[in-house]
Structure 1
Amino acid sequence: MKQVELVNGDLRFPALMAGEGEPVILLHGFPDTYENWAVQINAIAKAGYTAIAPALRGYAPGCQPGNGDYSLYAAVDDLMVFAAQLGGRVHLVGHDWGAVVGYLACAQAPDTFCSFSALAIPPVRRIPQALLKVPEQILLSGYMQFFQLPLAPEAWLTKGDLSGVETLWRRWSPNWEPEMYLDNAKHTLSEPGVIPAALAWYRSLFKVWKKEHRKARAWLGRDLATPTQILIGENDGCMSPKLLNETLIESDFKGGVELQTIAGAGHFLHLEKPDEVNAHLLRMLKATECDCTL
């Protein structure tokens, strides 16, 4: 495994990379780091693929845009540029925000993605309506409203040794000791500008008047032609598994969709149950093929 860099304009995204073969992009979420994909990168590389996990926009000083654009539209653009740099067609794995970006990207550019594995996030297309039938998710998502406040979220997350970040990890993946994974996340989130950038992702969601917001929202209405699998931890303390009853509509997935529930895992299921999650990821990769290699 080696440290590399992906580029979009003047933004430089650090990444981990290993292997040779069809490219597989892995996108992390919040409050996390690209470095925590290491186990998946090694497994995917060993299976004969090129695995590359970049930092999300803002999660390193070099990829913090001067214009402050942390819209999902911009994040999809980053991903599309990465895919082009890797040959044009790629497999995609996304966790948390990475999965949200993945749903939108596959809807917007289905020919780019050979397969999509979404971790911890149910289909985002129908989440707004699902909240009416799964009110517990409104409580679980209360942190998103808190993040809209000025200054207070930054202070809460960074207090002490990033105790707010640790609180979220333990709340979202209960009865699990994150150890080095949490340390890795804290290291990334303590870099200059990363906490404000991470919060800007959430704040951008509510800027509905922005043209970037309108464009990304339009993509939500499209069916997904990319073969998709959704992996959910049964004990997820961030996204209620009950959402799947309202959001997983097979007719929305023209390329097919499978659901995998990971017993005993929470929101960070790929770190809690790496062998089981890796087996699902590799099965999906082997079932789909890209027409390009690096």
Structure 2
Amino acid sequence: MKQVELVNGDLRFPALMAGEGEPVILLHGFPDTYENWAVQINAIAEAGYTAIAPALRGYAPSCQPGNGDYSLYAAVDDLMVFAAQLGGRVHLIGHDWGAAVGYLACAQAPETFCSFSALAIPPLRRLPQALIKVPEQVLLSGYMQFFQLPIAPERWLKRGDLSGVESLWQRWSPDWDPAMYLDNAKHTLAEPGVIPAALAWYRSLFKVWKKEHRKARAWLGRDIATPTQILIGENDGCMSPRLLEHTLVESDFTAGVELQTLAGAGHFLHLEKPEEVNRHLIRLLKSTECDCSL
């Protein structure tokens, strides 16, 4: 495994990379770091692929945009540039924000993605309506409203040894000791500008008047023509598994979709149950091989 960089304009995204073969991009979420994909990177590389996990926009000082654009539209643009740099067609795996970016990217440019694995996030297309039918999600998502406030969220996350970050990990993946994974996340989030950037992703969601927001919202109405699997931990304390009853509609996925529910896992399921998750990830990669080679 080696440290590399992906580039979009003047933004430089640190990344971990290993293996040879069809490229597989892994996108992390909040409050996490690309470094925590290491176990998946090694497993995917051993299976015969090139695995590369970049930092999301803002999660390193070198990829914090001067214009402050942390919209999902901009994040999809980053991903499309990465895919082009890796040969034009790639497999995609995303957790949390990475999964949200993946749903939009696959809807917008399905020809770019050989397969898509979404971890911990249900399909976005019908999510707004599902919130009405799964009221506990409004409570679980209360942190998103809190993140709209100025100053206070930054202070809460940074207090002590980033105890706010630790609190979210404990709440979202209960009854699990994250050990070094949490330490890795804290190390990334402690870098200059990263916490404000991470919060800016959430604040951008509510800027509905922005043209970038309108463009990304238009992609939500499209079917996804990429073979897709969704992996959810049954004990997820961030996104209620019950949302899938109202968001997973097979006809929205014209190339097929599968659901895998992991017993005893929470929001960070790929870290809690790496062998089981890796088995599902590699199975989909093997079943969707295409001309994506570097």
Q: TM-score, normalised by structure 2?
A: 1.00
4+ residue segments displaced more than 4 Å: none
- 1 CA distance for matches of 2:263 and 2:25? 25
Contact 2:25 2:53 in 1 (8 A): yes
Q: Is the partner of 2:171 in helix, strand or coil?
A: helix
Partner of 1:146: 146
Partner of 2:241: 241
Distance between the aligned counterparts of 1:147 and 1:128, measured in 2? Answer: 19
Structure 2 distance, partners of 1:124, 1:234, is 19
Structure 1 residue matching 2:15: 3-state secondary structure: strand
Kindly, what percent of the aligned residue pairs are identical? Answer: 89
Alignment of 1:152-191 (within 5 A): 152-191=152-191
Q: How far, CA to CA, are the matches of 1:292 and 1:253 in structure 2?
A: 21
Q: Which amino acid aligns with 2:230?
A: I
Q: Is the 8 A contact 2:136 2:240 kept in 1?
A: yes
- In 2, the alpha carbon distance for the partners of 1:150 and 1:224 equals 36
Q: Deviations over 1:99-124 (max 9, x none)?
A: 00000000000000000000000001
Shift of 1:289: 1.3
d(CA) in 2 for partners of 1:12, 1:263:
38
- What SS is found at the alignment partner of 1:5? strand
Partner of 1:212: 212
Alignment of 1:105-124 (within 5 A): 105-124=105-124
The answer to whether residue 73 in structure 2 is matched with residue 70 in structure 1 is no
What does 1:92-131 correspond to in 2, within 5 Å? 92-131=92-131
Alpha carbon RMSD of aligned pairs, Å?
0.3
Q: Do the aligned residues in 1 keep the contact of 2:114 with 2:292 (CA within 8 Å)?
A: no
Quick one: distance in 1 between partners of 2:185 and 2:242?
28
Structure-1 separation of matches of 2:218 and 2:242: 25
SS where residue 115 of structure 2 aligns?
A: strand
Deviation at residue 190 of structure 1 after TM alignment: 0.1
User: Which one-letter code corresponds to 1:259 in the other structure?
Assistant: L
Please tell me the residue identity of whatever aligns with 1:53.
A
Counterpart of 1:139, as a letter, is L
1:259 corresponds to: 259
Deviation at 1:279, TM superposition (A): 0.1
SS at match of 1:132: helix
TM-score, structure 1 normalization: 1.00
Q: Which position in structure 2 is the counterpart of 1:283?
A: 283
Q: Which amino acid aligns with 2:116?
A: F
The one-character-per-residue Cα deviations of 1:33-79 (angstroms, maximum 9, x if unpaired) are 00000000000000000000000000000000000000000000000
Unaligned runs of 5+ in 2: none
Count how many residue pairs are aligned between Structure 1 and Structure 2.
Answer: 294
Residue 293 (structure 1) shift: 1.0
Counterpart of 1:120 in structure 2: which amino acid? A
- Structure 2 Cα separation of the partners of residues 17 and 206 of structure 1: 34
Q: Which runs of 5+ in 1 are unaligned?
A: none
Which residue of structure 2 lines up, in the alignment, with residue 26 of structure 1?
26
- Offset, 1:292: 2.8
